[in-house]
Structure formats: structure tokens, C-alpha cells
Amino acid sequence: MKRNLWLLAVCQGLFLTNNVTFIAINGLVGLALAPRGWMATLPVMGYVVGGALATGLVARTQQRFGRRHSFQIGLAVALGSALLCAQAAVWKDFWLLCFATVVAGYYNANASLYRFAAAELAAPDGREKAVSLVMAGGLLGAVAGPNLAAVTRDWFPVPFAGAYLALAAVALLAMGLMHFIDFAAPPPKRTTTGGRSLAEIARQPVFIVAAVSGALGFGVMNLLMAATPIAMQICSLPFGDIALVLEWHVIGMFAPGFFTGHLIRRFGALPVMGVGLALNLGCIAVALSGVDLHQFLIALFMLGVGWNFLFTGSTTLSLSAYTAEEKDRAQGALNFCIFATLALSSFASGVLVTTQGWRLLNFGSLVPVVLTGAALLWLARRQRSTAAAATV
């Protein structure tokens, strides 16, 4: 079991290497190729729109082929889409780049299920730690992603074409590792669909809050992270500084994975998610204080840790909302909520940072933070009321 979890954690790291490299370069390549400046983050948006569109197909392939084969299909798509991105950069074709990132979204939706697969590889009393450990594998992406973008940026006369080719090699490496992971056998096929309908699952308060907090927490993180490379370039900071900020942001996202599971097991998911929300508020406060390198660095690091607490907590929270035979439709719905929110935040980040500026972008991010806080308080009050009624 430990071998499987560590291999899956490395695959998570390679997935995040792809994501962080995309974040680091897609906005900048988009800014260079886009017909209008406000369209710069459309390639970033394409990645998450593709993820949203692919959630239903991913759920069906997971159900039909099982975890390993479905994950390998996702990695094959990652390989092909990275090569297509490289071709778009060489041809200086903005719309081909957007199309390629939409195709890559299938890999995004597929690999986003690694965290749920981790829970299935662990004993019932160790699911929180398993999810947290695999999430910690993203540390590999924290270091490899920005540095990969920086090192391969000038491999060819066309900026960043080498980075896309390097991502194709990363996908090949992940395909090799995935082959050695022993996933749990899929449940036996049934002539009729087992379990409750998605509508019934989605009416549960715990599912609602898991979906809202996971989607909005990810949305806030993406809103600020996607805009950061563009904001820093507008502020005349060099690409090396952009890579450094993104590296520490992703370290913040995944380094807590070594202990977030312990915190959730000891204090519960909701208190840990509340701390994550407070860190988001701290990030916004620091970002509004100025636009020097250290302010970008501290704000994005706090944003990363806050995201980890919110996202790991929401994932753990969701595990109690469905059974094994309901997992594909429930997990697909959760991922759709996340990707739909990411699509909106990716587009909004480019529009806001290029037309309204970094300051207004941060003020706007307060809206989803407040909504997430309201959802957490609502569920906490319901749980206290239920516990009080049970003791009467």
C-alpha cells in the first residue's frame, strides 16, 4: 500500500509539474500571441474549460476501464496536447494554442482524481493521511514546474516551445510509473446503476459545502495565481522572479500535505478549512500592501497554504457523502464544480489584471472568500444542532 501511495504521489507531482508550467508560461505566451491584451489568459482558461467539459467522459472511462487504464489514457492525452502546444508556439497560432489547452483539459480532469484514488488505496482509518500524502507529491511540481519553464524557455528560437516539449517527456515518465501502481479492483459491473441518484447525493449539506468550498477555494487560488505572472511582468519584474514566486506558491500548496491529514484527523475538516480561509484573507491583505517582489512572494505562499487546507479539507469532507458504487458520479460532479469555477476565474483574472489592475483583482477575490466562509459556518451550525438533538 505504501509503495502504491508513494508512486501515486510522484504521479501527482508530475501532474502538478504540468499544471505549474502551464500557469507560468501559458499567460505569457498568450499575451505575446493574443489579438487583444485582455485575451492573454484564454489559454489558461482553455485548460480548465477542457477539464470541465471532460468530467463526464472521464467518469465513464474510470467506470469502464478502472483507475490505471483510465489514468494512462489521460497521460496519453497530456503527451499529445503538449506536442500540439509546441506546434502552436512555433506557428505563432494563438487559436491553436487555445485548442491544445482545451484538449489538455482531459488530462487535468483525469489526474484530478488521483486524490480520490489515494483514499481507495488506504485503510478506512487512514484515508485522510493517504489523501494528504498524495497531495504532498505536488511538491515535485513546485520545484520542477517553474524551473522547467525557466531552463527550457530558450531551448529553441521560439520562446517556451522547449517547455512544451519537456512536458511531453514528463507525461511519458508518468505513464511508466503509473504502470507499476496496483489499484483496487473496480466494483463488479451491474446491469443497473447502483446507489443513489446524483440529485439525491447533491442535496446533502455535507456534499453542498464540500462542493462550494472546494470550487470557490480553488477559484480564488486560480484567480490570483493565473494573474500573477502577467501582473509581475507589468510591474517590470524579470521572469526569474516570476518563477521564484510560483515555486514558493506551489510549495505552500503541497508542503502542508505531510501534516494536513493529521490536523484534519485531530481537529476535524471544518476547523482546518477555517484556518485556510483566514490565510486567504491574509494573502489578499499582503497583496494589497504593494507590488514589490517580497509582497508577491509572501501573498502567493499564504495563498498556497490556504488552498491546501481548504482543498484537502473539502476532499476529506466529501468522502462521507457517497458510497463506493456512487463514487464516479459524485466525484465527477465535484470536479465539474471545480473546473467550471476555474474556467470563470481564469478568464476573469486576465480581463481584470490587464484592464483594472492587480489591486481591483484582489478586492474582487474577497467575494468568493466570504461566500466560502458563510458555507462553512452554515454546515458547522447544522452539525452542532444535529449533535445536540442526538444527546436529548
What does pLDDT average to in each consecutive run of 10 residues of the chain (392 residues)?
84 88 81 78 82 85 87 95 93 93 92 84 74 78 78 82 92 94 68 73 92 90 85 87 86 83 89 95 94 94 94 88 85 84 78 82 92 94 82 65
Measure the CA–CA gap between 364 and 294, rounded to whole angstroms. 22
pTM, rounded to two decimals: 0.72
pLDDT in the model for residue 192? 47
Identity of residue 39 = M
Distance CA 199, CA 307 (A): 27
Give the count of beta carbons closer than 10 Å to the beta carbon of residue 319. 19
Nearest to 367 by CA among 259, 220, 250, 229: 220
Q: Work out the end-to-end distance of the chain between its first and last CA atoms, rounded to an integer number of angstroms.
A: 42
280, 228 Cβ separation under 8 angstroms:
no
Residue 251: partners with Cβ closer than 8 Å, 6 or more residues away: 139, 142, 143, 301, 304
DSSP designation for 110: H
Q: What is the pLDDT of residue 190?
A: 52
| Inter-axis angle of helices 239-254 and 205-234, nearest 10 | 160
* CA quadruple 205, 47, 45, 241: dihedral sign: positive
Alpha helices in 289-365 (DSSP H): 293-318, 327-355, 358-364
Under a CB-based contact definition with an 8 Å cutoff, are residues 107 and 55 in contact?
no
Domain locations in the chain?
A: 2-183+197-391
Residue 328 pLDDT: 79
Q: Residue 166: what pLDDT?
A: 92
Angle, CA of 204, 118 and 123, to the nearest 5°: 85
2-183+197-391 belongs to CATH 3.50.7.10: no
What's the DSSP call for residue 297? H
Which residues, 6+ apart, have CB-to-CB distance to 30 below 8 Å? 39, 40, 41, 42, 43, 44, 94, 97, 350
CB-CB neighbours of 256 under 10 Å: 24
Q: What single-letter DSSP state applies at residue 157? A: S
Amino acid at 295: Q
Residue bearing cell 487535468: 108
Can you tell me the distance from the alpha carbon of 56 to that of 389, in angstroms, rounded to the nearest whole number? Answer: 39
Give the per-residue pLDDT at 41.
72
Phi, psi of 87 (to 5 degrees): -65, -40
